Amino acid sequence: MIKKEFIWEKQGLIFAPDNNFDWMSDYAQNPSSIILNDRIRVFFNCRPKKDKNGYFSSYIAYVDLDINNLFSIINISKKPLLEHGSKGCFDEHGTMCGNVVEYKNNYYMYYVGWQRLQSVPYTHSIGLAISKDNCDNFEKIGKGPVISKTVNEPFLQNSPFISIINKKFQMWYSSGLEWVEENNKDESIYLIMHSESEDGINWQRNGVPIIETVVDFETQTNPSVIEIDGIYHMWFCYRHGKDFRNKNRGYKIGYAYSEDLINWKRDDKLGANIPLSEKGWDSEMLCYPYVIEYNKNILMFYSGNFFGRDGFGYAILKDYK
């Protein structure tokens, strides 16, 4: 059993959209990163203003941060990295980046595509796009997803995190268990599951949640996994499944660890003791963590209030004792 405690120190807000473009009006959700020479490219998901019918959509963007000063933004994407799918496709109404991994001199972006539905508000599936030019442009491998509904997973799949470990693609993602109704509104309940692949396209999975729950109707999303001292560590976010659009029941950071990538022990107090700030952009919600090792430091990018509407920032692991 791990006895070491993670001590995190918040560094502050890095970026929040402010009507930068018509497709990037606000929100900076699900920050994920990759190191490119002199910069750290942070992918995030943003939204244009709602359309005339009151519907919102989402697009994938990035900001490039100076590798020596993460508060120095040296570039912002001028167009969405992926366009929406055509009518009837799984990504017809929105695309959202999970993360990007390097594989055979290319970059694989696993992303969430979503569609509006009639009986419930939406559905999600996971797609793949590939870049051959250092993450400047991505091309979808096809019109369909690589992870979607199965007999054992009949609802949505989202928030993929992929890492290549021991020459195999490992994916942790959220999968829907049910829809519940509250105040005439349907809410999706989803938990983290695991899948494995030889080629990053064809996946084997069993549809079994791997992280225990600690609150009623718990919803888990945005897993992020790294190895430290021979142990695999996962950070994710979780919330109550009902009445969660508030400070007390909204997203918080969770933590679990594993020695074999299969069996996970949850211990939020050990690894995710990251309190809300007294005021400002992350004073009501902490969500969508993404952890990387960089320059002998371990960093956590994360989004703040209102599911990332107020932007993303980062924290540094100051001690592990």
Query: Worst-scoring range by mean pLDDT, 14-18, 192-196, 269-273?
Result: 269-273
Residue at 265 is within a domain? yes
Residue type, 112: V
- Domain assignment of residue 262, given as a range: 6-320
**CATH number of 207's domain:** 2.115.10.20
Residue at 157 is within a domain? yes
Residue type, 186: D
What is d(CA 193, CA 173) in angstroms, rounded to the nearest whole number? 5
Question: What's the whole-number mean pLDDT along residues 310-315?
Answer: 98
Question: What's the whole-number mean pLDDT along residues 10-34?
Answer: 97
Q: Under DSSP, is residue 305 helix (H, G, I), strand (E, B) or coil?
A: helix
- pLDDT bucket at 5, cuts 50 / 70 / 90: confident
Residue at 172 is within a domain? yes
Residue at 287 is within a domain? yes
Question: What's the whole-number mean pLDDT along residues 276-287?
Answer: 97
pLDDT for residue 321 is more than 70: no
What is d(CA 219, CA 312) in angstroms, rounded to the nearest whole number? 21
Tally of domains in the chain:
1
204-246, pLDDT tens digit by residue?
999 999 999 999 999 999 999 999 989 999 999 999 999 999 9
Residue at 186 is within a domain? yes
36-54, pLDDT tens digit by residue?
988 999 999 999 999 988 8
Residue at 82 is within a domain? yes
Q: Name the token pair of 51.
A: 């359309």
Say what percent of the chain tops pLDDT 90.
93
Is there a contact between 300 and 287 (Cβ–Cβ < 8 Å)? no
Question: What's the whole-number mean pLDDT along residues 107-124?
Answer: 97
60-107, pLDDT tens digit by residue?
999 999 999 999 999 999 999 999 999 999 999 999 999 999 999 999
Number of neighbouring beta carbons within 10 Å of residue 69: 9
- pLDDT bucket at 296, cuts 50 / 70 / 90: confident
What is d(CA 169, CA 200) in angstroms, rounded to the nearest whole number? 6
Mean pLDDT of the chain: 96
Residue at 1 is within a domain? no
The secondary structure of 190-230 as a DSSP string is: EEEEEEEESSSSSEEE-----S---STT-EEEEEEEEEETT
Question: What's the whole-number mean pLDDT along residues 190-211?
Answer: 98
Q: Under DSSP, is residue 271 helix (H, G, I), strand (E, B) or coil?
A: helix
* Phi, psi (deg, nearest 5) at residue 243: 50, 55
Query: Residue 188 contacts by C-beta under 8 Å, 6 or more apart in sequence?
Result: 120, 155, 156, 176, 178, 179, 219
The number of angstroms, rounded, from the C-alpha of 188 to the middle of its chain's C-alpha atoms is 17
Is there a contact between 163 and 99 (Cβ–Cβ < 8 Å)? no
Residue 264 pLDDT: 97
- pLDDT bucket at 2, cuts 50 / 70 / 90: low
Residue at 45 is within a domain? yes
- Altogether, the residues listed in the chain come to a count of 321
Residue 248 pLDDT: 93
DSSP label at residue 147 = B
Query: Residue 116 contacts by C-beta under 8 Å, 6 or more apart in sequence?
Result: 55, 93, 122
Q: Name the token pair of 136.
A: 């400047």
